[in-house]
Amino acid sequence: MMKTLLASAMVAVTAGSFSAPAVAQSEPQTIEGIVAIVNDQPLSYSDVRERASLLLLTLGAQQPTQEQIQQVTSQALDELIDEKLQLQEASEYEVEVSDEDINRSISDMARQSGLDRDGLVNVLLSAGVNPSSLEDQMRAEIAWRRIMGGLYGSRIRISRNQIDEALEQQRASLTKVQYHLDELFLYAPSEEEKRQALRGAATIIEQLEAGAPFSLAAQRLSSAPTAASGGDMGWVSLEDIDPLVAEVVQDMDTTGFSEPITVSNGIYLINYKGKRDPDEVETRVDLVRLAVTDGSEDALREAASSASSCEEAVDAASGNANLDAAEITDVRIEDLGVEGQNMINEVEIGQPTQVFSASGTLAVMYVCDRRQSGAALPTRDEMEDRLFARELSMISERSLRNLRRDATIIQRGS
């Protein structure tokens, strides 16, 4: 999530247009004090000051107001509490993150901005940000990612039906008016948390209107699964999103940011990037039907098991009088009937369908090519990856909320 976060801010710093926000100056007498204790581990005002400076840098805030500094400082404290919990969990599971792991991540981040590691460190120092704050954040992020992947990665199973349903939902949405949206979601289940989130959303909008990239704000602050991709929802129909969000989006006729939208469990900010009329979508396939002339299912299964592509199926039939291969090109899958569509949709390119009856004998159908007209749909593998990432992201968010709920957290003044 952090890999592209500093890109635009680094450009501003290296061009000499960024002045470091003086977060620490507002409370110099308490910098070294303790602001919170998380399961007996302290967080200092100095820790919070450094993280707030990093947050302001990543959001591109050049001259933040005192109110913005206060809001970002609150966000910084929340981040640090979460990171303490993540690192405590890493210790429990004996997950280690080496200095080499952190240096590699920093080097990757720097490379995306045309810098080396030392160049990135100098950018942070020039902006008054201690590089150790970024290193601490990366340590917690890497450790948490490893814990979640280790605990749940092998348990998540994306079924064929889930992929089919997701593809069908996306195919159906292409026949409706679509909206190109980014989202930033602030999780706030209680009324008090909603009030705080609304104040935070107002600060975010001020930064966005001052030129901060929406994608960076979403990466840094959003609790939605799309945070890793900068809040990008892609093209969606109104039926794909929360009804309260849909009401606002439907009334937007120019690109830009929505006002904060309150839903049952939090606050949305939407970046409206345009809309398009529905596409007429159809799927076309190229097929090879491999049949046996004597009706022997065993002979057909043996031939199908030895042919792993359309070309091999045709070759197998050319050398066997009991096999017949017919090439069928550019067929609308919608014309094959429900049973035929289901068989074709169940297999990948180059693979045979299950055995079926055809013209008094038995056959299988090889799928040689599958394509959509209109807007492109993701492949089955791409959709499976999306569903897996979304599931793991939701598990990660839920696990972190559970850790926070069960922790002993004492904040200064509480």
Question: Could you tell me which of 140, 79, 139 has the C-alpha nearest to residue 103?
Answer: 139
Domains 176-278 and 283-372 share a fold: yes
Overall fold of domain 176-278:
Chitinase A; domain 3 (3.10.50)
Can you tell me the distance from the alpha carbon of 130 to that of 111, in angstroms, rounded to the nearest whole number? Answer: 20
**CATH 3.40.390 fits domain 283-372:** no
Q: What is the pLDDT of residues 184-237, one digit of tens each?
A: 999 888 898 899 889 889 888 988 888 878 988 888 788 888 887 889 998 889
Per-position b or e across 301-337, b if 16+ CB within 10 A of its CB: eebbeebeebebbbebbeeeeebebeeeeeeebeebe
Q: What is the pLDDT of residues 89-130, one digit of tens each?
A: 999 999 999 999 998 988 887 786 677 888 888 888 887 788
Q: What is the pLDDT of residues 21-61, one digit of tens each?
A: 444 444 444 445 899 999 999 999 999 988 888 888 776 65
Q: What is the mean pLDDT of residues 77-85?
A: 93
Q: Where are the domains of the chain?
A: 7-156+407-411, 176-278, 283-372
Question: Could you tell me which of 126, 116, 181, 117 has the C-alpha nearest to residue 9?
Answer: 126
Query: 3-state class of 324 per DSSP?
Result: strand
Q: Is the pLDDT of residue 62 over 80?
A: no
Per-residue confidence (pLDDT) for residue 130, from 0 to 100: 86
Where does 7-156+407-411 sit in CATH, by number?
Answer: 1.10.4030.10
Strand extents, DSSP E, 231-336: 232-236, 256-257, 261-263, 266-276, 283-292, 323-332
CA atoms within 13 A on the CB side of 251: 7
Which helix H or strand E contains 347, and what residues bound it? none
Contact between 212 and 60 (Cβ < 8 Å): yes
